[in-house]
Structure 1
């Protein structure tokens, strides 16, 4: 959900650039290299990475389209209105992280019926509908995503001599990829630590919501050993809650989605002990390339495009990420 919310229910302001358009080329007539409709689920930094990656790949392909962009704020109705508009405008492709596996289906079906190729990234509609209406889905395997972090958590507790840790989940499970992340996490964790227990699982996809959720969990379960944050907001909300409740040294966090704050926390090595990430820049490049392939007739059937998944497991990894991303764009 990769997915930081990547997958948050609430974002910041609606993003409509230059009357729904941004000319990314330095010169030339507006739209002469085609137009893409692009939907970001919310305003978190991951989507800035997606946008940057799309622009970089388009420039590398030598054909930079006009981007008609929307921050849907996790709202399927705003997403639907925008898709109606770009469908009427006959864009060359629709690239989006749908707000809902079900509520987003009518809008995507309309785009498909209008002859517009649809490329999902990060999230998508339900599989049966995706196979009918979507040309490509850029996806980092969510089960593997969670499993990498489950292994990291198990190794941490084995090194500490704790064989039955109590773990709380701060989730984003209103999207299916987050459910799959948790399943991968639990399977890998319990393969090494069969006595590990998930003592709570509550939604908190944005940082503010996640802080409140994690603090309530700490009140109900003061002996919890770790949090698993299924998305970026959940991760950093859990870190802040641990710090605010004076649980540093007792409760650790394993989380999803890199950002400057997450890298700094990982480098500090006091609370955050591992992060799994799917680079927004990498996903943007893959999505732009898939759209170009569809436009040129090279991609004619529904295709899942694998996105790379990275594990950051040490303070050195956190410092290396900060060095590689001085602008904070993930």
Structure 2
């Protein structure tokens, strides 16, 4: 049987009921005091968010504070997110940690949380600039422009090595959120700086793997020439890779992508289709979000609204094998 100290280190899981169609999971966020409730929202179920959860839990276990953590996978649904945020705000949570589904549609719920005295911490995505300044205490963010620039520079390097001065590139996007738009702008900036004759032949939404496979396959069928895909998310990247394999275009079309997963690491290790992947570790973001949440709950003044998360380029099979070796659980 656990003693009192061990029990205090165990997070209490609170279920808000089937009406929210939510699964409450064991987890915790570091904070001072004798516990409290914290709302945590994931935009969807892609691997990045599993990494965020892992990072928060690992950071919390070292600090050992008791908390009631209320979690929701919003599944990209702003109304689902809003219902959850309204409910936990009324339930008296001390903080809300979220990657908002929409820069605009998520504003009313976040505003209500703020006006209810809830500290709001964004990670990955956030609200419009004005709303973020008004209602958000901190934003854990890997620079999306730098993110895209790393991929664009690597794409330019690859095509120059292949003697292709005018590559035709198709984009699979996740541009319902601002960070994905910024990723593309960074990609284009670095690409065109080195290869001014490069062309973006199409830019279509393909956020999840299944959607991206379908969209990428249509693009490969419709476009007379596609030298590469740029995937703005992990799902779009994996979907592009699978479509290239399915079409038998290995050796003809390559992929530059985003948001590392175990499957993408294996594709990068193979290196025939996926040539580079840029990543912001979900685990590291979770750790930063946990510590930042502790700070804002305690009333600490942050040096800046933006809490920077590291952005990394993986461009070789050796990079991919190291990623897999250091992450046996496969979480980014």
Bigger Cα displacement from structure 2, 225-234 vs 52-61: 52-61
- The equivalent residue for 1:22 is 26
Cα distance in structure 2, aligned partners of 1:102 and 1:153: 32
Counterpart selection for 1:303 from 293, 302, 305: 305
Does the residue aligned with 1:94 lie in a helix, a strand or coil?
A: strand
Q: CA deviation at 1:63?
A: 1.8
Does the residue aligned with 1:22 lie in a helix, a strand or coil?
A: coil
Q: CA deviation at 1:296?
A: 1.0
Cα distance in structure 1, aligned partners of 2:83 and 2:176: 21
Cα distance in structure 2, aligned partners of 1:299 and 1:58: 21
Does the residue aligned with 2:207 lie in a helix, a strand or coil?
A: coil
Q: Report the CA distance shift for 1:50/1:316 in structure 2 as closer, same or farther (over 3 A).
A: same
- The equivalent residue for 1:179 is 181
Cα distance in structure 1, aligned partners of 2:34 and 2:280: 32
Q: CA RMSD in A?
A: 1.7
Equivalent pair of 1:140/1:306 in contact (CA under 8 Å): yes
Cα distance in structure 2, aligned partners of 1:301 and 1:110: 25
Equivalent pair of 2:34/2:65 in contact (CA under 8 Å): no
- The equivalent residue for 1:111 is 113
Equivalent pair of 2:27/2:57 in contact (CA under 8 Å): no
Q: CA deviation at 1:192?
A: 0.7
Counterpart selection for 1:220 from 222, 247, 259: 222
Cα distance in structure 1, aligned partners of 2:302 and 2:130: 17
Equivalent pair of 1:211/1:240 in contact (CA under 8 Å): yes
- The equivalent residue for 1:91 is 93
Cα distance in structure 2, aligned partners of 1:164 and 1:123: 33
- The equivalent residue for 1:286 is 288
- Superposed CA deviations along residues 120-147 of structure 1, whole A, max 9, x for unmatched, are 0011110100100000011111010000
Cα distance in structure 1, aligned partners of 2:54 and 2:216: 32
Q: CA deviation at 1:159?
A: 0.8
The residue correspondences of 1:1-330 to structure 2 (distance < 5 A) are: 15-17=22-24, 22=26, 24=28, 32-299=34-301, 303-330=305-332
Equivalent pair of 1:135/1:302 in contact (CA under 8 Å): no
Equivalent pair of 2:207/2:233 in contact (CA under 8 Å): yes
Q: CA deviation at 1:255?
A: 0.2
- Superposed CA deviations along residues 169-192 of structure 1, whole A, max 9, x for unmatched, are 001111111111000000000111
Equivalent pair of 2:51/2:286 in contact (CA under 8 Å): yes
Q: Report the CA distance shift for 1:48/1:15 in structure 2 as closer, same or farther (over 3 A).
A: farther
* Larger RCO (CA under 8 A, 6+ residues apart): 1
When normalised by structure 2's length, the TM-score is 0.90
Q: CA deviation at 1:65?
A: 2.3
Cα distance in structure 1, aligned partners of 2:27 and 2:57: 10
Q: Report the CA distance shift for 1:263/1:15 in structure 2 as closer, same or farther (over 3 A).
A: farther
Equivalent pair of 2:278/2:314 in contact (CA under 8 Å): yes
Does the residue aligned with 1:102 lie in a helix, a strand or coil?
A: coil
- Superposed CA deviations along residues 221-264 of structure 1, whole A, max 9, x for unmatched, are 13210000000000000000001011000100000000011000
Q: Report the CA distance shift for 1:210/1:14 in structure 2 as closer, same or farther (over 3 A).
A: farther
Q: CA deviation at 1:200?
A: 0.7
Structure 1 unaligned spans of 5+: 1-12, 26-30
Does the residue aligned with 2:65 lie in a helix, a strand or coil?
A: coil
- The equivalent residue for 2:10 is none
Count of paired positions: 310
